Amino acid sequence: MNSKTVFLNTDEEMPLLGLGVYKAVGENEVETAILHAADAGYRLIDTASAYANEDGVGRGIAQCGIPRKDLFITTKIWNNAQRLGDITGAFNRSLERLQLDYIDLYLIHWPVPGCFLNTWKELVKLYESGRVRSIGVSNFEIRHLEELASVSDVVPAVNQIEFHPYWYQKELLEYCKSKGIQVQAYAPLARGAYLDNDIICVLATKYGKTPAQIGLRWALQKGVAVIPKSTNPQRIVSNGDIFDFEIEEEDMAYIDQLNQNFRSAGIPEDLQGTAF
């Protein structure tokens, strides 16, 4: 695999492909997935304190044989820590579980109302301390990004959002691009929802690729980084094999039309009912 990278607004280089590890909590499951991913050329791992597997991710990183400087590790601050204002404490605990002395990208997992502006100010301090190389956000809509900009000059390096052919968040993507915020697609496979779509399957046959590779490549060609999750060795390899072909413009337009604002990942219970 010839994985490509992008420079963030912090001048840090981030791989466009990463391994998502949400729900990889079985015995040695995440460690083994990281070893397979490292062999397949992945250099970015996306975890979160809420995934309850940072310690396993830490073991996987330690075992995978890739020098730390060549890896890009993302983790996220969860909602309860934001409500408690325990930002530095949560960050320190993540570092400890991951057995690392710095994080490449630290994200606000969700824009908790009444909290996320303060969380951002604390993340800026962590960034200035050098213990995190880039800071960003996740699940932020335009209104959240505008609120952030009204209190801070530091622009998020990344906005990690659900993004795939069934939820093409075009307006948000264009807004982020205009502000120099790199969009990173979570649930880029929509957890399988579009993999049997007729148009996706026709295009998979046309390009000699899998439906998953078509969806991931579509996102890449939109300028969006992807973090598909798999713990299956064959799927880890095939999900990474997306840098050797190009979807033609006409076919990109067919995929654009599949949008149905389909949300595959749920809103956390503690944010349901709030205008997060």
Would you tell me which residues interact with ligand NAP (CB under 6 A)?
A: 20-22, 46, 109, 138-139, 160, 186-192, 195, 210, 212, 227-232, 235, 238-239, 265
Selected catalytic residue, list 51, 106, 166, 194:
51
Shortest reach from residue 213's CB to ligand NAP, in Å: 8
CB of 93 to ligand NAP, least distance (A): 19
Measured CA to CA in angstroms, residue 255 lies from 102, 121, 199, 215, 249 at distances of 39, 39, 7, 8, 10
Nearer to ligand NAP, 250 or 276 (CB): 276
Residues 219 and 165: their CA atoms lie apart, in Å, by: 8
The CB-of-68 to ligand NAP minimum distance in angstroms stands at 20
194 is catalytic: no
Which CB sits closer to ligand NAP, 95 or 110? Answer: 110
Q: Which two tokens stand for residue 71?
A: 């890896």
Q: Quick one: the chain helix, strand, coil %, rounded to 5?
A: 45, 15, 40
* Shortest distance in whole angstroms from residue 116 CB to ligand NAP: 14
CA-only gyration radius of the chain, Å: 18
Query: Residue holding tokens 């044989």?
Result: 65
8 A C-beta contact, residue 65 and residue 56: no
Report the C-alpha gap between 4 and 16 in whole angstroms.
6
CB of 236 to ligand NAP, least distance (A): 8
In the complex with ligand NAP, which residue's Cβ is closer, 100 or 108?
Answer: 108
Contacts of 197 (CB under 8 A, 6+ apart): 165, 211, 258
Secondary structure element (H or E) that encloses residue 186, with its range: strand 182-186
Is 239:183 a contact under the CB 8 Å cutoff? Answer: no
Residue whose CB is less far from ligand NAP, 119 or 249: 119
**What does the alpha-carbon distance between residue 40 and residue 38 come to, in Å, rounded to a whole number?**
5
Q: Report the residue number, 52 or 129, with the smaller CB distance to ligand NAP.
A: 52
The identity of residue 88, as a single letter, is T
CB 110 within 8 A of CB 139: yes
| Residue positions annotated with a catalytic role | 51
